[in-house]
Amino acid sequence: MSAKSRNRNWLAGLVAGTAALAAATVAAQAQEKVTISLIQILTVQEWPSEVAAGARAAVKDLGEDKVELRVLGPAGFELAKQAQVTLSEVERGTDAIILSNVAPGAMIEPAAMLAERGVPVTWIVSAPPDEVPNAFFVGVDPYAVGESGAELILSELEEKTGKSPSELSGDVVQGLCVPGLPVLTRRMEALEDAFKEKAPNVNFIPPFDSKLDLTQSYAAWNQAVQKYPDALFYTDPCEDPNKNIQKIRTDDGIDVPQVYYDNPEVARQAVKDGEITGIVSSNRFTEGYLAVWVTARGLMDGGDFPSGWVKVPHKVIDPSNVDAYISAWENDGAGLREFFDPEITGTRDISLSDLPPASDYDGSN
């Protein structure tokens, strides 16, 4: 059968296969050595490289004689290509898929295909859609990330203004690069909730479309800053828009708090240089590590593959630990493994029974 015919049959099967999502959790026999395929949504940015580095560190700790790891995915953000890579891995033969998920609705049909084939799936980055039953998800709580961001910002505002949070007033300008993604919107909800409770006189302007593209985002954020030059601070849950906020602020000499929720090199250096308040890291290294570790455990233990949410601890990067963090990146395997050791060892051997459901992720339950 040609590749084209195979793909056509697969797509037809996806439409018919959604009913397979109603199947029970995948059961597996205990195995001494397992093959795990990590399918990334993209590979060109720093954060997926961090996921991969964490995944490889877990294999090293578990033993390469016990786990074979394949790391794959399209270079850029292409959901169709990610689905094709997933299909290829299933046909090639793998014991489990770790699936990087950033667009939950787009993953319903691929999830149906995997359930139909009996391939266990561990979801990372963002929880799967609620239509996926018995989902097994490994990831940070985005609401907790937003709460920590609010604490950093409130602390700096109090220091800069000499006012308590209850005395603060002014506008907060918000951007959002992709509407509707819980991994982003939950960060924003937590930030706003924290200010409503502690600084109720602060006004949050509804978020504007801050764009995914770096150049388009710069134009959007530059316009927003020009419109609100005296804002209390500017915030965005997305990486490239935050880079642009930082650039505009430093170019224009705007001294207000800023928190990143991703940790690219420019952000790490900016914390060291005092240009931004800090990073509330979604801890992609630990996420990749734990995803491989608990997936391997689930396969090796046999029985029903786990379901529920393994919560990855987020980590605050501020002036107190940024030097150690920058040094850790110089060897992104061993260095980051050592830096994140408290989060890794404090989580990896938790019980995989009675986990909270993955559906808790979006806060609707």
Tell me the residue type at 268: R
- pTM for this entry: 0.87
Asked if 142 contacts 154 with a C-beta cutoff of 8 angstroms, the reply is no
Q: What is the pLDDT of residues 223-246, one digit of tens each?
A: 999 999 999 999 999 999 999 999
Please report, for residues 95, 123, 137, 343, the alpha-carbon distance to residue 54 in angstroms, rounded to integers and kept in the order given: 19, 15, 16, 12
- Token pair belonging to 358: 């993955």
> Tell me: the pLDDT tens digits for 298-331?
999 878 899 999 999 999 999 999 999 999 999 8
Q: Which domains does the chain have, with CATH numbers?
A: 26-133+283-313+333-347 (3.40.50.2300), 142-281 (3.40.50.2300)
pLDDT for 2 beyond 70: no
Question: Please, what is the average pLDDT of the chain?
Answer: 88
Give the DSSP H or E segment for 233. strand 233-235
Q: What's the confidence (pLDDT) of residue 172?
A: 98
* Phi-psi domain of 318 (left: phi exceeds 0; alpha: psi -120 through 50; beta: other): beta
Q: What percent of the chain has pLDDT over 70?
A: 90
Comparing CA positions, the residue from 194, 136, 147, 191 lying closest to residue 311 is 136
63's tokens = 């033993």
Does residue 68 sit in helix, strand or coil? strand
Cβ 136 vs Cβ 97: under 8 Å: no
How many whole angstroms separate alpha carbon 83 and alpha carbon 7?
A: 10
- Measure the CA–CA gap between 97 and 115, rounded to whole angstroms: 11
Residue with tokens 């918000």: 174
In 3-state terms, what secondary structure has residue 231? coil
Please give the Cα distance from 231 to 136 (Å, whole number): 41
Say how far residue 72 (Cα) sits from the centre of its chain: 17
Q: CA dist 251 to 14, 30, 96, 193, 246, Å?
A: 50, 58, 48, 31, 8
List the single range of 26-35, 108-117, 272-281 with lowest mean pLDDT: 26-35
Task: Show the tokens assigned to 189.
Answer: 């909800």
Q: Is 276 in contact with 153 (CB distance < 8 Å)?
A: no
Examine the pLDDT at 38 and tell me if it is beyond 60: yes
Q: What are the backbone angles phi and psi of residue 195, rounded to the nearest 5°?
A: -70, -35
The rounded distance, in Å, linking the Cα atoms of 204 and 88 is 46
pLDDT of residue 11: 35
- Three-state SS string over 125-170 comes to CCCCCCCCCCCEEEEECHHHHHHHHHHHHHHHHHHHHCCCHHHCCE
Confidence of residue 364 (pLDDT cuts 50, 70, 90): low
